[in-house]
Amino acid sequence: MKLTLGFSPCPNDTYIFDALVNNKIDTEGIEFDVQLEDVQTLNQWAIEGKLDITKLSYGVLPLALDKYIVLNCGSALGKGVGPILISNWELGIWNAENFTIAIPGKNTTAHLLFSLAYPNAKNKIFLRYDEIENFVLANKGLGVIIHENRFTYEQKGLKKIIDLGDYWEKETANPIPLGGIVIKRNVDINVQQQIDKLIKKSIEYAYTKYPELNDYIRTHSQEMSEAVMRKHIDLYVNNYSVNLGEEGKAAIIKLLDVYQTINPQESFSTNNIFVKSIF
């Protein structure tokens, strides 16, 4: 059996999936046609139902629930891992309505968390996550940064306005559900559970080699230093990645509730959104 699989070239994803897609573990007869793309592209593909298995932002999950169900393994959740709103100057008292805000994709968790904190912000533009620092440096407006930019913005003289992850945690008392792995609902349930198990094995294999950074991680993160690659992995790969558990699932359901509040015109069900766990 061959399944299409999409994830990002970020170190946390290549770390998680290296053993699975490079035959370092027994894949039990399943082959993978791998597509590495930025998260916004993967989000759009998820809405379209393009891939069998894909990484997506949990912010876009409501738009993909009719086609996909969430796997228990491979997610990025945690505390202190949220997007950060930045500026090129020190801000005192300010009004979000008076600024252009660059956000890393419309259908992203970053956009949802920003909307929760600043519901009145209207002048938003959507850029690739790696274009936002330069947008802010050019004094075009404020920006919401994610991924490795969390570790580099201060080196460029940029200023933190608010950690949107901290805001989420204080408002909801939940870990931040950033991104997860979903699989097509029409895939046999036994195969869904098999993929869950294989991703778990792939992560466990990666842990046995860490802090070594293999060529697969390096090749797709050439612009990062090794220190930033490790920070990326340390921040986004954790116990929720190995298994969401009840706490992780509750955080995702809470995010869906927030999405529904912000987008009351859209309807979806939070029933049957997770693959039945075998762990």
pLDDT 10s digits, 170-188: 999 999 999 999 999 999 9
Q: Can you give the pLDDT at residue 181? A: 98
What end-to-end distance do the CA atoms of the chain give, in Å?
23
Bridge-based pairing of strands 101-103 and 76-78 is unpaired
The residue whose two tokens read 């697969």 is 216
205 shares its domain with 149: no
Q: Can you give the pLDDT at residue 44? A: 93
Residue 255's alpha-carbon distances to 63, 84, 156, 185, in angstroms, are 13, 18, 32, 21
Q: Can you give the pLDDT at residue 40? A: 83
Residue 168 in any domain: the answer is: yes
Q: Give the mean pLDDT of 235-249.
A: 95
60 shares its domain with 98: no
197 shares its domain with 162: no
Residue 268 in any domain: the answer is: no
CA–CA distance, 108 with 64 (Å, rounded to integer): 12
- Report residue 110 as tokens: 């970053």
Count CA atoms closer than 13 A to 204's CA, side-chain side.
11
Task: List strands edge to edge, sheet with 101-103.
Answer: 124-126, 101-103, 142-145, 84-87, 159-163
Q: Give residue 194's domain range.
A: 2-78+177-262
121 shares its domain with 160: yes
**Boundary residue ending a domain (157, 172, 187):** 172
Cβ count near 236 (within 10 Å): 23
CA–CA distance, 5 with 31 (Å, rounded to integer): 10
135 shares its domain with 151: yes
Q: How does the average pLDDT of the chain come out, rounded? A: 93
- From the candidates 111, 147, 220, 232, give the one annotated as an active-site residue: 147
Residue 125 in any domain: the answer is: yes
Q: Can you give the pLDDT at residue 268? A: 85
26 shares its domain with 141: no
Task: Please tell me the total count of domains within the chain.
Answer: 2
88 shares its domain with 74: no
226 shares its domain with 196: yes
Known catalytic membership, residue 111: no
Q: What is the pLDDT of residues 126-152, one digit of tens each?
A: 998 889 999 999 999 999 998 778 888
**Boundary residue ending a domain (109, 141, 172):** 172
Q: Which helix (H) or strand (E) holds 44?
A: helix 39-48
Residue 279 in any domain: the answer is: no
199 shares its domain with 155: no
Q: Can you give the pLDDT at residue 279? A: 85
Check residue 150 and report its DSSP letter: G
Residue 246 in any domain: the answer is: yes
CB 108 within 8 A of CB 236: no
24 shares its domain with 158: no
166 shares its domain with 211: no
64 shares its domain with 91: no
CA–CA distance, 231 with 240 (Å, rounded to integer): 17
Q: Say which CATH number the domain at 167 has.
A: 3.40.190.10
Between 222 and 159, the higher pLDDT residue: 159
CA–CA distance, 157 with 232 (Å, rounded to integer): 21
Residue 136 in any domain: the answer is: yes
Residue 184 in any domain: the answer is: yes
pTM attached to this predicted model:
0.86
Residue 267 in any domain: the answer is: no
* Among 223, 161, 187, CA closest to 9: 223
CB 101 within 8 A of CB 144: yes
